[in-house]
A and B are shown apart, each in its own frame.
Chain A
Amino acid sequence: MVPTSYFIILSAILFVLGAFAFFVKRDLITQFLCIEVMLSAANLAFIAFAKSASSLDGQIFVIFIITVAAAEAAVGLAIILLVYKQKKTIKSEDMNLMKG
């Protein structure tokens, strides 16, 4: 069988890539996408651990994560739409109302 460690490393790679992409991209939608990528990477890690610990709890957790991600995506996208309507742009640099 494929050793669990491979999955873990893959999960780490995906997560870091997602994080890196988050900082590199300049528009909101794509950044949001990267967050989803990170979440999925975490899912992978959970499943891998569940397998190695022979318990199904990890998979249950993944169910919940997916659910939460769905809810979050819905609301987040609604917000992005509103912001676009207001500012006519989705460049994240333009969202600086909270500039101190």
Chain B
Amino acid sequence: MAHFIFFLLAIVSVGAVVAMIFSKNQAYSALFVILAFICLAGLFGLLDAPFIAVIQIIVYAGAIMILFLFVIMMINLDEGIPPEKKRWTLGLSFMIAGVLFIELIFALKGFLSPAKTAVEGSPGSPTDLGRLLFTKYLYPFEITSVLIIAALVGAMVLVKKKDEGKEED
């Protein structure tokens, strides 16, 4: 049963990403990516990380992707931009992707043996995660909050209209 779900989710997610590559419309690309994320969330769940799965849907697929869609809406392009057509860049990217893939497989060699199957353990509950977060990873936690504030302020400053300057002219 788990295998079946896995393969379903896997194929759908890969298919979504491939579709994203070939789509000319940016909004469609974003939607395909949302699909891929939802599948990933399912996969997370399969891996005993229910909390993370939900987070993925709420934050990633929900907030970040909506942000993307808003921006796509604001940049109201009439015609879509087709993907790269030139032969040599295409070929080069292909090759590089291939090489990268092979290397990744090699790098993760150690984990490919079936013996390293997952142990049945307790799923990652919020309680456990919270406990870890506030003890062992307290420092990064605090810094991340600073990061979020910085991003917030940064984004606001960047798009702020410079009204005052124009009126003085």
Identify the A interface with B (CB < 8 A).
1-10, 12-21, 23-27, 29-30, 32-34, 36-37, 40, 43-44, 47-52, 54, 56-57, 59-60, 62-64, 66-75, 77-82, 84, 90-91
Contacts and interface: CB of A to CB of B under 8 A. Distances in A.
A7 B43 contact: yes
23 contacts: A3-B116, A4-B116, A9-B105, A12-B104, A14-B13, A14-B14, A26-B82, A33-B33, A47-B52, A50-B49, A52-B116, A52-B118, A60-B132, A60-B133, A63-B52, A67-B144, A70-B60, A71-B150, A74-B155, A78-B159, A80-B71, A81-B74, A91-B81
Do most interface residues of chain B lie in helix, strand or loop, or is the interface mixed? helix
Contacts of B33: 33, 36-37
Interface string B83-95: 1100001101110
| Size bin of chain B's contact surface | 35 or more
Given A51-B118, A70-B63, A24 B83 contact: yes
A77 B67 CA distance: 8
Interface in B88-122: 89-90, 92-94, 96-98, 100-101, 104-105, 108, 111-114, 116-121
